[in-house]
Amino acid sequence: MKDFDKLISSTLIEQADHAPVAVGLAQGARLRHRRRRQRVAVGVAAGALTIAAPLALALSDRGDAPDDRSLYAADPTSTPSSATGWQRIEENGVSVEIPSQWRSFECANQTAFPSDEMYGPNEEDACSLTAFASFADRDQFEVPDGAPGKVHRTKVPRVVQTPGPHDVRWSGHLYAGDQIFGVVTAERSLTSHILDSATGTDLASQRREPIRDAIVYYLRDGQGLEMEQASCVADSLMDADLSEKQLKAVPDGVNLMIPEGESDWRFVFNDNGDFSRGEVIELNAVLSAQATECLQD
Amino acid sequence: MMEEAGAVHPRQRHVDGGVEFGDWVEVRGRDLLRLAYVLTGNTADAEDVVQDALARALPRWERICAAEDPNAYVRRMVINAHTSWWRKFRRRELPSGDVHIDEPVAGPGEDPSHDLRRRLWNACRELPTDQRTAVVLRFYEQLGYDEIAAVTGVREGTVRSRVSRGVATLREQMGDI
């Protein structure tokens, strides 16, 4: 190990001594667990009880398809094809409709969405967050990406160990008091329906909020490759059928790359020169101009 | 440093072939908090991440003990909680050029190397989450690149790049040492 590496190691070990004292951890975990358990799944909404096509099968079919864009360009206002009936889940007075085929699962090995009860078409999808709906404590989140109540296009989350090349999902969230409701599905219209079905929360005011922001940052590759990257998280871009808007937004000399397992769009700069903060802001301005709802803080 | 996985503390008692949750937390809680602290860089987030992982582990504790080493399992939960998809962009990750580190000021009688490590720690805390996680797992947990890749769910090449970028930034921030 190099001297500098050793210095990093010894520094981290030394600083770990400043970690908080482990008092009452088990008791605290039990309290937090009990609080989360105070939720009830209720009711079965009207709708056909006949299951025409299991949602799980529909999802797996989509995952094997060659072109995700053609699959997910459905009219967001159309009726979800994969849901044949609805059930309503509720927590603290807020309820949403989810497909009647979905069931509740406890997911042992996922902490990305801090909830003990994940609803989904099957355990694998629910626990890998590729198709789920659930409530969690809002105080465990900083401000989420994107505006509440809107459907966002996203890649599968990083917790999935072997993401496929076409694992695009549609996600959304809502605030409800001290809770946050999150949903991810493979079908844009399904995510939209679930969000639109919510009652007991002030959705109207949430939807009037402007699209939150565009986050731009850049990284310098330490290998001498001089590859500069900038990422922009922009709701309107994520929400859009991306091709046209994104291509317009990319300045000359910039190649677009959509990395696997990421929810952002990444721009790789070919030029080897210095990449100043000013240029980052300029890029952001280009994006903002093209994506009308993409605002900077 | 974490104790060797699988070591059994004398106070641990076994329930249905596993270790009782409270006893395990009593023995391992400190190590989890140490890991969470160097990952998150602050006390509040460290406690939150560990509490979250433990609260999630609690209802399925017997299954965890029966299936695999609970130490590795819960440590992975702590790491996942820190780097979770839902949290990732909620933290504003600033470019490395925006890092601000105080000039070294050694206190009376203070070991200069201590001040050096303090500066390095401050720089480490300012790394973007992905890089800091990779650096911590590499140099604190002493994990191999392949192990880090398995824990964080990204390719090994990505891990190498994150560690490399993180170390390069730290070197740049430290200047001539």
pLDDT tens sequence across A163-210: 444 456 777 888 777 778 888 888 878 988 998 888 876 654 454 333
Distance of CA B167 to the CA centre of its chain: 16
Cβ contacts (< 8 Å) between B121 and chain A: which residues? 11-12, 14-15
The answer to whether B149 faces chain A, any CB pair under 8 Å, is: no
Q: What is the pLDDT of residue A109?
A: 61
Q: How far is A34 from chain B (nearest CA, A)?
A: 9
Residues in chain A: 297
Cβ contacts (< 8 Å) between A30 and chain B: which residues? 55, 58
pTM: 0.46
The 10s digit of each residue's pLDDT in A32-55 is: 776 554 432 221 211 111 111 122
d(C-alpha B93, C-alpha A103), whole Å:
37
H-helix segments, A54-187: 55-63, 68-71, 123-128
Answer whether B115's CB lies under 8 Å from A6's CB.
no
Which member of B25, B91, B161 has the closest CB to residue A25?
B25
Report, as an integer, the average pLDDT of A4-17: 93
Q: Do A110 and B80 touch (CB under 8 A)?
A: yes
Nearest Cα residue in chain B from A37 = B59
Q: How far is A79 from chain B (nearest CA, A)?
A: 27
Q: What is the pLDDT of residue A281?
A: 32
Cβ contacts (< 8 Å) between B36 and chain A: which residues? 19
A143 has pLDDT over 60: no
Report, as an integer, the average pLDDT of A273-279: 33
Which tokens go with A235?
Answer: 């709701």
Cβ contacts (< 8 Å) between B171 and chain A: which residues? 4
Q: How far is B36 from chain A (nearest CA, A)?
A: 8
A78 has pLDDT over 70: no
A165 φ, ψ to 5°? -70, -15
Q: Do A219 and B128 touch (CB under 8 A)?
A: yes
Q: What is the pLDDT of residue A170?
A: 77
> Which has the closest alpha carbon to A58: A76, A77, A84?
A84
B5 has pLDDT over 50: no
Answer whether A121's CB lies under 8 Å from A101's CB.
yes
Residue B139's pLDDT band, with cuts at 50, 70 and 90, is very high
Q: What is the pLDDT of residue A24?
A: 82
**Interface mutation target, options B12, B38, B86, chain A, most CBs of A under 10 Å:** B86
Most confident of A55-59, A198-202, A244-248: A198-202
The secondary structure of residue A166, as a DSSP letter, is: T
Strand A254-257 to strand A265-269: parallel, antiparallel, or no bridges (unpaired)? antiparallel
Q: Do A277 and B32 touch (CB under 8 A)?
A: no
**Interface mutation target, options A111, A140, A260, chain B, most CBs of B under 10 Å:** A111
Q: What is the pLDDT of residue A239?
A: 34
| H or E segment to which residue B149 belongs | helix B145-152
Q: What is the pLDDT of residue A184?
A: 86
B158 has pLDDT over 70: yes
CA distances for A140 relative to A131, B45, B67, angstroms: 21, 10, 28
Greater confidence (A131 vs B80) lies with A131
A-B CB pairs within 8 A amount to 201
Residue in the structure block whose two tokens are 């088990």: A26
d(C-alpha A5, C-alpha A3), whole Å:
5
Q: How far is B149 from chain A (nearest CA, A)?
A: 10
Which tokens go with A287?
Answer: 């994006």
Report, as an integer, the average pLDDT of B53-72: 80
Q: Do A11 and B25 touch (CB under 8 A)?
A: no
Q: What is the pLDDT of residue A234?
A: 36
Q: Which of A189-193, B99-103, B152-156 shows the lowest mean pLDDT across its residues?
A: B99-103
Residues 6+ apart with CB under 8 A from A163: A155, A156, A260, A261
Residues 6+ apart with CB under 8 A from B4: none
What 3-state class would DSSP assign to A97? strand
Answer whether A145's CB lies under 8 Å from A152's CB.
yes
Nearest Cα residue in chain A from B97 = A277
Q: Which of A112-121, A272-281, B13-22, B118-127 shows the lowest mean pLDDT across its residues?
A: A272-281
Which member of B21, B33, B60 has the closest CB to residue A108?
B60
B171 has pLDDT over 80: yes
Report, as an integer, the average pLDDT of A266-288: 35
d(C-alpha A201, C-alpha A94), whole Å:
6
Answer whether A169's CB lies under 8 Å from A198's CB.
no
Burial of A93 (0-12, 13-18, 19+ CB in 10 A): exposed
The 10s digit of each residue's pLDDT in A148-167 is: 677 766 654 433 334 444 45
Cβ neighbour number for residue A127 with a 10 Å cutoff: 19
Answer whether A217's CB lies under 8 Å from A277's CB.
no
| H or E segment to which residue A40 belongs | strand A40-42
A274 has pLDDT over 60: no
Which member of A9, A18, A20 has the closest CB to residue B47?
A20
Q: What is the pLDDT of residue A147?
A: 60
Q: Which of A253-262, B34-43, B159-168 shows the lowest mean pLDDT across its residues?
A: A253-262
Q: Which of residues 4-63 of B touch A (CB under 8 A)?
A: 21-22, 25-26, 29-30, 32-38, 43, 46-48, 50-60, 63
Strand partners, A228: A220, A269
B92 has pLDDT over 50: no
B169 has pLDDT over 80: yes
Nearest Cα residue in chain A from B168 = A222
Q: What is the pLDDT of residue B164?
A: 93
Which member of B1, B29, B56 has the closest CB to residue A22?
B29
Answer whether A180's CB lies under 8 Å from A198's CB.
no
Which member of A11, A15, A112 has the closest CB to residue B86?
A112
Q: Which of A100-114, A245-259, B52-66 shows the lowest mean pLDDT across its residues?
A: A245-259
Mean pLDDT for all residues in chain B: 74
Residues 6+ apart with CB under 8 A from A192: A76, A77, A151, A170, A172
Report the percentage of chain B scoring pLDDT > 90. Answer: 27
Burial of B149 (0-12, 13-18, 19+ CB in 10 A): buried
